[in-house]
Amino acid sequence: MNEELRQLLESLRPEEAEAATFLLQALQRSREPTPASMGLVGELTGAVVVDEAPGRVVYRLEARPYLRNPYGFLAGPVLYTVIDYSMGRALRGLAREGELSATVELKVNYLKAVREGTVRIETTVLHKGSALAVLESRATDDEGALVALAVGTYRVFPPSP
């Protein structure tokens, strides 16, 4: 470890050290191949899969302090990112070998702010055709209240010949 990095780490407050550790662990997790890893951006959210079946996936996301916006609430882009990744994973569960997909449109309605606790994101494929798929995600808080509702359209790309 170089001297500059060592000094930086030693200067961190305990909550900053916790965040730095989490970020380094996310970097390590991002090295895993898909679907074990969501890549670095997804891993930075700390979301984990808690249930999965073809066309359906459930993620758990903790509202950690470093994922909050300046007002102290879970940042919308963090939840959006987990929803997008959950839709991709749910769709991948129905994909034919070699078939890929990409987000065309994703609409998220944020209904309730989350300051702490856990958000459960349940995603279901509503329709999968040969060219397009439509998915829905429902994000709920610890009490089961709806935090966000999302609908996404994904382009389905056939396997390469």
- The DSSP 8-state label assigned to residue 130 in this structure reads S
pLDDT at 142 over 90: yes
pLDDT at 144 over 70: yes
Mean pLDDT across the stretch 111-131? 97
- Residue 78 has a pLDDT of 97
66: domain range?
3-157
- State whether residue 110 is helix, strand or coil: strand
| Comparison of pLDDT for 134 and 5, the residue scoring more | 134
Query: Using alpha carbons only, what angle is made at residue 123 by residues 159 and 51, rounded to the nearest 5 degrees?
Result: 95
Residue 52's domain is classified under what CATH number?
Answer: 3.10.129.10
pLDDT digits (tens, 9 = 90+) for 123-141: 999 999 999 999 999 999 9
3-class DSSP string for 25-88? HHHHHCCCCCCCCCHHHHHCCCCEEEEEECCEEEEEEECCHHHECCCCCECHHHHHHHHHHHHH
Contact predicate 138/71, CB 8 Å: no
- Residue 117 has a pLDDT of 98
pLDDT at 24 over 90: no
pLDDT digits (tens, 9 = 90+) for 76-102: 999 999 999 999 999 999 999 999 999
The reported pTM is: 0.89
Report the mean per-residue pLDDT for the chain. Answer: 93
Structural domains of the chain, count: 1
Mean pLDDT across the stretch 41-61? 95
Q: Which residue has the tokens 């249930």?
A: 51
- Residue 110 has a pLDDT of 98
Amino acid at site 74: L
Cα–Cα dist 82/72, whole Å: 19
